[in-house]
Amino acid sequence: MDQLQLLTWARGNGLNLALTIFVLGVIWRLIEIYGLGRKPDLSAPRDVPGASGWHTIFRRSVPPPGMFKTSPVSYLGGYVFHVGLAVVVFLFAPHIELIKNLLGVAWPGLPSQMVDFITVVTMAALVVVLIDRITKPVKRFLSTFGDWFTWALTFLPLLTGWLAVHHLLLPYTLMLALHILSVELLLICLPFTKLFHAFTAFGSRWYNGTVNGHKGVPV
């Protein structure tokens, strides 16, 4: 198989396969988790405005009082690479083009130099949080194969995409194929790794906020 065949496969059957597994995987995991249900709370609630599951979904993105200074890298690094990823994925013209072909919706993108810069910043942030994970005792203690693997899964699409755009390291066709394949790998693994927090963080924050909101504590 030559580069072009690889690229064609990646763009065609590969993408279809990956998207199918991704969508089915997400649906399966959501059912697997939320289908377990929970018992209703029969205790009398305390009604306090601003304390609810929905509030917590948003509020939990802000560090609680006193926490930022305990681990600024976790918060800053986390914000930068999450926002960076969102910008690169959803505001880069070729990506918007792909989404338009798949779903029929489109929106204006950012200038490519800006996306380029943000990509570099995002990769840098990922490297910083990797180093943090290696050097901080608690993170190192908690880390398993899954943490390193998912880091690579997240980093590779950024790296290969950036290299492809700059025509670096490998011939463009091959680099692009690798980029798309790395995204496809990310997609099929996402529902079955900690990356699934992309979906469940909302559910978890909602449960947490609901339980505490019931007691009248805005969390």
List contacts with another protein (CB under 8 A): 28-29, 32-39, 41-44, 46, 48, 56-57, 60-61, 63-67, 70-71, 74, 78, 133, 136-144, 147, 192, 194, 196-197, 200-201, 203-209, 211-212, 214-217, 219
CB of residue 64 vs another protein: minimum separation in angstroms? 5
Please tell me the distance from the alpha carbon of residue 27 to that of residue 192, in angstroms, as a whole number.
11
Q: Which is nearer to another protein, 152 or 163 (CB)?
A: 152
Q: Specify the residue, 38 or 105, whose C-beta has the smaller distance to another protein.
A: 38
Residue number with CB closer to another protein (78 or 109): 78
Our CB check for another protein shows the closer of 108 and 137 to be 137
CB of 202 to another protein, least distance (A): 8
- Shortest Cβ 188–another protein spacing (Å): 12
Q: Which is nearer to another protein, 48 or 110 (CB)?
A: 48
DSSP the chain: --HHHHHHHIIIIIHHHHHHHHHHHHHHHHHHHHTT------SPP---TT-SHHHHHHHTTSPPTTTGGG-HHHHHHHHHHHHHHHHHHHSSHHHHHHHHHHHS-------HHHHHHHHHHHHHHHHHHHHHHHHSHHHHHH--HHHHHHHHHHHHHHHHHHHHHTT-SS-HHHHHHHHHHHHHHHHHHGGGSGGGHHHHHHHHHHHHHHHHHHTT---
The least distance separating another protein from the CB of residue 46, rounded to whole angstroms, comes to 5
Q: How far is the CB of 28 from another protein (least distance, A)?
A: 7
Integer Cα distance of 63 and 73 in angstroms: 12
